[in-house]
Amino acid sequence: MDVEQVRHRFAQAPRVARRRVRPSAARLVEAAVAAAIAWLLASLVPGHPSPVFAPIATLIALTASPGQRGRQAAQLILGILIGIVLSDLFVVAFGRGTWQLALIVLVGMVVTTAVGLPSFMVSQVAIWGVIVLSLHGGYLAAAGRFVDGLIGVGVALVFSQLLFPVDPLELVESRGRPVYLQVAEALRGLAAAVEDVDEERAREALATAERLERQPLREALSTAHDVVRRAPRRRGRRSPLESWRRAAAELDASERDLVVLATGIVRAVRGEEPCPGELVDALRAAAEAYERLPDVLAGGDGRDAFERCARLAADAARAVDGESGFGLEIAVRQLGALVRDARRAAGGDEEEQELQLPTGV
């Protein structure tokens, strides 16, 4: 790395830092304020001069991924309780020392794993067991640390569930949009492969279709459901989430139809079957429809544009339906099925019959 590159990196560092911090700025401020409040509240407990574990508990609970903070807070308090009880019992029975610490960690993790507790709770039992053994000052000290944990978790719950709950729609959209962009990417790759008669490009698009990641969207929907159920401020989001839930139910069919479509185009290109230009237009229109689908699901202004793209894809698919060549026939039929999937995901069941789409295999 030469001097000019080093100078350039130093010049860009503030902009890069701002770009990294900006998306998380609100959560960082929230965590700092919550930790300070937890410290203040715990310090008001009589005979408890150094409530260091209250802000620690708050920060642990608030650093969970969006939508998981309430659940993690509940798991944290149970982990603290188990760790403290185990440590106190071990100190009374065996005293303090290196092998006792190892035994506490081992027993705590084995027991919590054996009963099927989440990995986060397993680690918290071990961590709080070590803390209590290392700083053991009798039952009153252990009770003070448990009070710290209760206060810290309580503050985290107030912040995460009442004051600043995650927006479930933003969470779901952030996980769902990349799925539909991946479908659009595969369709555009197939269009380019047909246009250039490029088998390698068609196989790359097939690989993209086979790597479709649906699980993050499903997990986000599950988390969003928990958020609207637990957080009073987010209960009004329940109805808008149904659009995403309906769309997620169509993703299995979309993935299957996309893979079969890509397979048919690979076969058509490899066999040098004549592919009309309408198929290229249809694939690109379908790609744009899937790209716009998240805007429709989010309740934005994209429905008219989506309908236009879906109709263009359907018209082009009908125009090439019945062309010779087995690979091309598969492609056209699955393209029709894929457009139908998109319309159902967008809530367009009533207009399905008007499109008269080719039937998928």
Whole-number Cα distances in Å, 342 to 171, 176, 178, 285: 21, 14, 15, 12
Q: What pLDDT does 129 receive?
A: 80
Contact assessment for residue 199 and residue 262, using Cβ atoms and an 8 Å cutoff:
no
Q: What pLDDT does 68 receive?
A: 64
Report the C-alpha gap between 75 and 87 in whole angstroms.
18
Q: What pLDDT does 318 receive?
A: 67
Q: What pLDDT does 353 receive?
A: 43
Q: What pLDDT does 185 receive?
A: 93
Q: Domain of 41? A: 30-163
End-of-domain residue from the set 119, 135, 163: 163
Q: What pLDDT does 354 receive?
A: 46
Contact assessment for residue 74 and residue 62, using Cβ atoms and an 8 Å cutoff:
no
Q: Pick out the chain residues at pLDDT < 70.
A: 1-6, 8, 48-49, 64-71, 135-143, 231-233, 235-239, 300-303, 305, 309, 313, 316-327, 348-361
Residue 15 lies in a domain: no
Total domains present in the chain: 2
Residue 315 lies in a domain: yes
- Give tens-digit pLDDT for 227-259: 777 766 676 666 678 888 888 888 888 889 899
Q: What is the pTM of this model?
A: 0.67
Is residue 62 domain-shared with residue 207, that is, in the same domain?
no
Nearest to 337 by CA among 291, 302, 286: 286
Q: What pLDDT does 350 receive?
A: 45
**Residue 307: exposed, middle, or buried by beta-carbon count in 10 A (0-12, 13-18, 19+)?**
middle
End-of-domain residue from the set 144, 163, 182: 163
Q: What pLDDT does 96 receive?
A: 78
Is residue 172 domain-shared with residue 118, that is, in the same domain?
no
End-of-domain residue from the set 163, 192, 225: 163
Q: What pLDDT does 320 receive?
A: 62
Is residue 297 domain-shared with residue 176, that is, in the same domain?
yes
CATH number where 251 lies: 1.20.58
